[in-house]
Amino acid sequence: MNSPAEPDFLRFHRVRWVEVDARGCVNLAGLLRIMEETEYAFLRSLGLSVVMKDHRGTIGFPRIGAELEAGSPARFDDILEIRLYVLTNDGVTIRYRFEITGAGGQVATGNFTIACCRFPPDAPPRAILIPDFFQKSFPGATG
């Protein structure tokens, strides 16, 4: 899958010890964590969060899908560049693409699909339309 030319968000990350395996290479869990931290940083840059409150209570954006394909290994203390693209925003779900590169080339590519949910205090979460206050701050074409 090709990504748009310009990312919606770019950040750099120094590989931490907790993200590597016994060989000293970033493991799959570490790559997913790096993607997740990039999503959080992206939302913060827009004045948003993955969990927010509005006049009706708590809303959040749990992941309903994740894909990851590893490439060249990255090692402890390497500096990685992570590009986040908003692929779709249909008003209920958002799909991100992540491209992670290091000095050795493409480290990984992956996708998250997230849904907007309301979290009532005494009931299970339920999917809702993404609120207007979020949509006004958020890039990405609807559809």
Contact 86, 35 (CB under 8 A): no
Contact 101, 80 (CB under 8 A): yes
Whether pTM > 0.85 for this model: the answer is: yes
pLDDT at 113 over 60: yes
Q: Which residues make beta-bridge pairs with 86?
A: 96
Mean pLDDT of all residues in 2-12 = 83
Q: What is the pLDDT of residue 141?
A: 45
Q: What is the pLDDT of residue 136?
A: 87
Domains and CATH numbers, the chain: 9-137 (3.10.129.10)
- More confident of the two residues 67 and 139: 67
Q: Which residues make beta-bridge pairs with 52?
A: 59
Distance CA 12, CA 70 (A): 18
Mean pLDDT value across the chain? 91
